[in-house]
């Protein structure tokens, strides 16, 4: 089959999904439509903002569909009228069967983990948070249960100690685009092979990240806290709430840390500093050294710069209440 004869509907929303769409467009594939989320209010002015996928699709002159509901009859009629042979999903929404079962070659998804591990909404985050030393990308055909379909292709990459969400996200975005292209080529040539997911041993899941997930609990081990920071940097960022000696409370986001294993001499949650370039927090089995932070209303900065105007004496970490 020629590339132009394979009619593809592409579904995605964030920046992560743009790279895969770009390689398909530049590779000469026939993208008959792009499905993305409706525009949403953003910023202080609450102006409607288009998704990164929509912005790219408009630049390329591709047809756009932005349904509020995926089971809406008008949307389903429009989708059916496209006569797509294949649908590709990258960082979109869970599709109803009436959508994913529509094309003759089915619908495949790109997932940012080595399935069956880390099924769920935040696979890149959780692999780092859990201290994994390897991750990857997987393409698989959709079926009823989320992230459980037959695997088509998979590629691996190491997670280095210095990696965080930002570096792994960028790497998997590019790896994933290449894997999407390979998957489409395999389907087009009729050489695609499917492998059922083997659920051996314990499976780790990747649920959505909430504000409570991102809170630093200094009753945990230093290495666990360090991995939490890595897995949430640069966004949404791990955080702690501080209380000054006069009772004022302020949220501090934490972007870069290191772990020190030791016998802490201070109570858990105590800030320790030399007043110049070192700021650390006592935790269960040592200290979490803060390297780069952002105080509420301030810019992101190094701890060295922070200590030019921030005096940790009398400041404590709040542990008894989570800000919602």
Q: List, in order of start, the domains of the chain with CATH numbers.
A: 3-189 (3.40.50.170), 222-317 (3.10.25.10)
Q: Among residues of the chain, what percentage have pLDDT more than 90?
A: 89
Give the whole-angstrom CA distance, residue 32 versus residue 55: 16
The structure tokens listed for 76 are 């389903």
pLDDT at residue 323, as a whole number: 46
**Prediction pTM value:** 0.94
End-to-end Cα spacing for the chain: 54
Angle at 116 (CA atoms; ends 111, 121), nearest 5 degrees: 45
Q: State which H helix or E strand residue 42 sits in.
A: strand 40-42
Helices (H), the chain: 15-26, 52-59, 73-81, 97-100, 123-129, 165-189, 222-232, 303-306
Residue stretches of the chain with pLDDT short of 50: 323-324
- Where are the alpha helices (H) located in 27-157, listed in sequence order? 52-59, 73-81, 97-100, 123-129
Q: How many C-beta neighbours within 10 Å does residue 49 have?
A: 13
Are the C-beta atoms of 270 and 280 separated by less than 8 Å? no
User: For residue 324, what pLDDT is reported?
Assistant: 45
Residue 321 pLDDT? 52
Q: What is the rounded CA–CA span in Å between residue 138 and residue 172? A: 10
**Using alpha carbons only, how large is the chain's radius of gyration in Å?**
23
pLDDT at position 320: 65
Question: Which DSSP string do the residues of 98-116 spell out, in sequence order?
Answer: HHHT-STT-EEEEESSSTT
């Amino acid at each position: 089959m020629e590339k132009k004869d394979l009619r593809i509907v592409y579904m995605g929303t964030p920046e992560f999904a743009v790279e895969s769409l770009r390689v398909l467009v530049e590779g000469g594939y026939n993208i008959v439509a792009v499905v993305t989320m409706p525009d949403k209010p953003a910023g202080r002015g609450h102006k409607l903002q288009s998704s990164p996928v929509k912005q790219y699709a408009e630049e390329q002159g591709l047809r756009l569909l932005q349904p509020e509901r995926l089971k809406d009859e008008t949307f389903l009629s429009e989708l059916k009228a496209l006569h797509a042979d294949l649908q590709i999903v990258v960082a979109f929404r869970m599709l109803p069967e009436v959508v994913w079962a529509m094309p003759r070659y089915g619908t495949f998804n790109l997932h940012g983990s080595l399935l069956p591990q880390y099924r769920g909404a935040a696979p890149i985050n959780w692999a780092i948070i859990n201290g994994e030393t390897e991750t990857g990308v997987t393409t698989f055909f959709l079926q009823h249960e989320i992230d459980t379909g037959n695997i088509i292709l998979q590629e691996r990459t190491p997670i280095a100690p210095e990696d965080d969400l930002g570096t792994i996200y960028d790497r998997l975005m590019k790896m994933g685009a290449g894997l999407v292209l390979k998957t489409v080529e395999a389907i087009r040539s009729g050489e695609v092979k499917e492998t059922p997911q083997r659920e051996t041993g314990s499976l780790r899941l990747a649920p959505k990240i909430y504000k409570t997930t991102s809170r630093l609990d200094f009753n945990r081990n230093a290495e666990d806290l360090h991995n939490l920071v890595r897995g949430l940097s640069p966004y949404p960022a791990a955080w702690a709430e501080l209380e000054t000696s006069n009772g004022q409370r302020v949220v501090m986001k934490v972007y870069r840390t290191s772990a020190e294993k030791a016998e802490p001499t201070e109570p858990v949650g105590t800030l320790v500093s030399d007043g110049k370039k070192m700021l650390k927090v006592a935790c269960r089995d040592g200290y979490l050294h803060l390297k780069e932070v952002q105080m509420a209303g301030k810019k992101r900065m190094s701890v060295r710069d922070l200590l030019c105007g921030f005096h940790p004496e009398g400041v404590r970490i709040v542990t008894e209440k989570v800000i919602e």
